[in-house]
A = this chain, B = another copy of it.
Amino acid sequence: MLSFESDYTEGAHPQILQKLLETNFEQHPGYGNDVYTLSAKEKIKNICQLPDADVHLLTGGTQTNQIIIDTMLESYEGVIAAQTGHVASHEAGAIEYTGHKVLTLSQTDGKINAFDLKSYLANFYQDDNHEHMVFPGMVYISQPTEYGTLYSKDELLQLSTVCRQYHLPLFIDGARLGYALMADDCDHTIADIAKLADVFYIGGTKIGAICGEAVVFTKGNTPKHFVTQIKQHGALLAKGRLLGIQFDTLFTDDLYFSISRHAIECANRVRKIVQEKQYPFYIKNSTNQIFIIISDEKLAKLKEKLRVSFWEKYDEKHTVIRIATSWATSNEAVAALEEIL
C-alpha cells in the first residue's frame, strides 16, 4: 500500500548506513566523545556561521524539547508556546513532567506573533499578583510549524526582539527545519536561524537520520553540566557515534539540504496534483506537509490504496487529512498518488 502517512516511515539515508558499516569496528569512546560527533559539531557550527556555538546531539524530538526547556528554565518559569505548539498538546505532558507549565498564546496558521507576545509579557508584569503566577521564562516556536507554515525572517526578527527586550531565550523547534529552509518562499538561511534563536535544533529523525536531533546553543548559553543533565534525563547515548556519524554525514556536501529540497519538490508536485483535482487546502503552506479537506466518502475509497494521516474532522461529512513527503519519497510514489487522487 502507498503511504504518505508521515515523514518518518523509512529508515536512514543510504549514505548514513554506508558510513555506519564502514566505521563499525572502529573503537570509539562513548557518550559523544567520538571523532564523528566532534566532526559533526564542527560542521554544524560552520554551516551556522557560529564558531562559538555549542552543539549537542540527542535522540528524539520530545526528548529534545523536554531537555532544552527543563535545563534552560528556572524552576518557577514556564515556556510560552502557541496553543497548537507540539509541546503544548502532543507530547504526553513531557514538559509538565519536568515541573514546567506551558503558557499558551493564541495562534494563526500555527504561528504566534510579536504583538501578542509583547502584550502577554507587558500584562504579566503589570499584574499585581504576578508573584503568584508562573513566570514566562522562554518562548518556543516551531519552524516550520505543526501546520507546515513558515515564519518569515521579519517575523522571527520581531519575536526575537521582544524576547531580548524581556531577556527571554527564543527556542526554535526545528524537527523539520530542512523542510522550512528549502521551501520555495523561505527568505532565510540556517545562519539566520542561528543568529535569531538563542537555542534551536536541527531535526534528523524526519530528515534522513534514523534518529537524532542536533541542538545548537547559539550564545554561550549552554546549561551548566549539560552532559550530566542529559544523563539525568535518561537521554545520554552510550554509543554516541550513532548520532555523530549520522549528523557528520548529513552535513557533508550539504546532504541535509539537498534531501530536504527533494522532499519540497515532491510536495510541490503533490500540491499541484491536489489543486488540479480540486481538493480544497485546509491550510496553505510551502513545506512538506499538505493538509487537504476531503469528503468522508472519498476518504473511505482512498484508504483502500493509500495511507495518510487523519488530522481532524472538518465538518460532519468532511475530514482534514495530511499528506507528508520526505527525503525518502520516490517519484514513482508521487505518480502513484496522482493516480489514486
Which residues of A does B touch, CB under 8 Å?
3, 5-6, 8-12, 14, 17, 20-21, 23-30, 59-67, 70-71, 74-76, 78, 89-94, 96-102, 128-129, 131-135, 205-206, 210-211, 224-225, 227-229, 231-239, 241-242, 310, 328
Contact = CB atoms under 8 A, between A and B. Distances in A.
A36 to B, nearest CB: 11
Contact of A225 (B91, B98, B131, B242): B131
A66, A78, A237 — which one has the most chain B CB atoms within 10 A of its CB? A237
B229 A75 contact: yes
A234 B235 contact: yes
Looking at chain A's contact residues, is the secondary structure mostly helix, strand, loop, or mixed? loop
A164 B156 CA distance: 44
A17 B222 CA distance: 34
A132 B235 CA distance: 12
5 contacts: A10-B24, A75-B75, A92-B134, A132-B228, A234-B234
A59 B25 CA distance: 21
Count this chain's copies in the assembly. Answer: 4
A125 to B, nearest CB: 13
A252 to B, nearest CB: 18
Contact of A8 (B63, B132, B238): B238
B3 A14 contact: no
B90 A101 contact: no
B10 A231 contact: no
Contacts of A238: 8, 60-61, 205-206, 211
